[in-house]
Chains A and B, each alone.
Chain A
Amino acid sequence: MGAFLRRALGLVPDGRIIMFLRHPLAVRVAHWINALCLLVLFMSGLQIFNAHPALYWGKSSDFDHPILSLTAVDTGNGLKGTTQIGAWRFDTTGFLGASDTDGYETARGFPDWITLPGPQWLAMGRLWHFAFAWLLVINGLLFWIWALARGHAKKDLLPTRADLAHLPAEILNHLRLRFPKGEAAKRYNALQKLAYFFVIFVLGPLVVLTGLTMSPTMDSAFPSLLWVFGGRQSARTIHFICAFSFFGFFIVHIVMVILSGTWNNLRSMITGRYAIEVRDHD
């Protein structure tokens, strides 16, 4: 293995190593509960979506004009899956619209390997979704309270002016896969702060509120939810966009974890201990 790769994997230090407590227990516990919740919510959410794989804008469903739909047509020579977004149409046979379930081609929005449960089973998808939605909300609220009370939100997550000024350089460094070292690695950098802050304080509440807006009882309790999101079908669409924003965050997060020292990062999120290299000339 090349030195770069070994260093990236955190296998070989090239300076003096000191261990420090990077993530307090509350962050670690909340992180892993979140990870489990988002996994279950994403997959069961796609199961629920598959019951009516189309999205609309507004108060109700204009069935002839979905803004997105995953459909299947029987061509006589097998099912053809089509993904429609606005005026664009794509052939997505085998993945979206039509895919194999246990060896049989099936008309379904998302394929069975990414839905929970695998087979079309709306009632069960809803049970998983709402149970883990509760867990996500409770975990999220406890984390918020902790983060605000202990200063974590302000001290570690809220980007400072200096962070923002440093942002262009930060983006360049990330693109070159150069990550902070030494003392600088003890803090979240500007991009991390922005990403975590956005996920925790924007995307999280947005996904929960748009989810609640789909509930007819909650709409009777808080009709302003409908006004805020432009109607139940708009809320459903925003909920879907939030879900895929979480997915996008997840992909970038995993790539960054791997590239910036997989084991060191994993260890720090499990035991809290993070190794940083201190070079004598630093």
Chain B
Amino acid sequence: MTDRRKFLARAGAGLAAFTLAGCTDLSQNKLVVGLLEDVEKLTRRAQRLFAGSRSLAPEFSKKDIALEFRANGTLNPDTADYNAHAANGFHDWRIAVGGLVERPLSLSMAQLRAMPSRTQITRHDCVEGWSCIGEWKGAPLAPVLAAARPTENARYVVFHCADNMAQPGFPEQYYYESLDLVEATHPQTILAYELNGQALPIQHGAPLRLRAERQLGYKMAKYIQRIELVADFERIAGGKGGYWEDQGYTWYAGI
């Protein structure tokens, strides 16, 4: 009985130590973090199983649109090059589509606007927890990719952006993001150039941002300059497939 009581006391003390100091230490333990990160794959498989590749994110009505759509992340790239484009109304902004494609493209904004468009009133979900509803208009990504004819080994679409995330004095680190082909060719995945009937404001990614409506906000790259098809993203920046992914956020952002 006494032994048992000692054991219970020790177990209790161990549990207390685990909860107080232990968890922050465990969060820095490679094995533990590796195990936690593996769950992302399980989540992705399960969500794809339930949602399939074509389930549509809910769309809303005009009355649901937020009076002021919150902007997050970079609010203005503010580089000399970007500012020159902004002063010019992004007239000369071009989007390159390259990498593992048979026919690399360089599209002007006018060409992109001339392509079939989709307008959708959708909910933007930030990883922080808040949501905003807005009306987006843009060119569906699938036909853009199809025009570039991805090669058979292309598996991911990487979006390279014009906003430098590095602190002044540090090597440049441009925002980037990636989707797999399922999400990239989803009907609601568009290259958006309008928000609420107006040209996309600078704080929301002018002149072009991604909308991937089944994902969280950080996947939806702003200030897109270049689209690259790749087999994997190991050699791009930190190798995790996106700026925030390189900081520890999961690549799959469906939840």
Which positions in A face B, CB cutoff 8 Å?
39-40, 43, 48-49, 51-52, 54, 56, 59-61, 63, 113, 116-119, 121-124, 126-128, 130-131, 134, 212, 214-223, 226, 232-233, 236, 263, 266-267, 270
Contacts and interface: CB of A to CB of B under 8 A. Distances in A.
A221 B47 contact: yes
Nearest to A49: B129
Contacts of B33: 124, 127
A128 B24 contact: no
B128 A122 contact: yes
Nearest to B215: A216
A228 B54 CA distance: 23
A123 B8 contact: no
A56 B52 CA distance: 30
B181 interface: no
A220 B57 contact: yes
A266 B8 contact: yes
A117 B23 CA distance: 6
B66 to A, nearest CB: 6
Given A59-B64, A117-B27, A52 B130 contact: yes
Interface range on chain B (Cβ under 8 Å from partner): 35 or more
Contacts of B37: 127
21 contacts: A43-B19, A49-B129, A51-B128, A51-B129, A59-B133, A60-B66, A60-B132, A117-B23, A124-B27, A126-B127, A127-B33, A127-B36, A130-B40, A130-B255, A134-B39, A218-B255, A220-B58, A221-B51, A222-B50, A233-B131, A270-B8
B136 to A, nearest CB: 14
A205 to B, nearest CB: 16
Contact of A217 (B20, B131, B133, B214): B214
Interface string B241-255: 000100111100011
A113 B20 contact: yes
Interface string B214-255: 111000000000000000000000000000100111100011
B213 interface: yes
B255 A217 contact: yes
Contacts of A232: 123, 125, 131
B42 A263 contact: no
Interface in B110-131: 123, 125-131
Given A52-B130, A119-B24, A217-B51, A223 B58 contact: yes
Contact of A123 (B47, B129, B249): B249
A218 B47 contact: yes
Contacts of A263: 5, 8
Contacts of B214: 216-217, 220
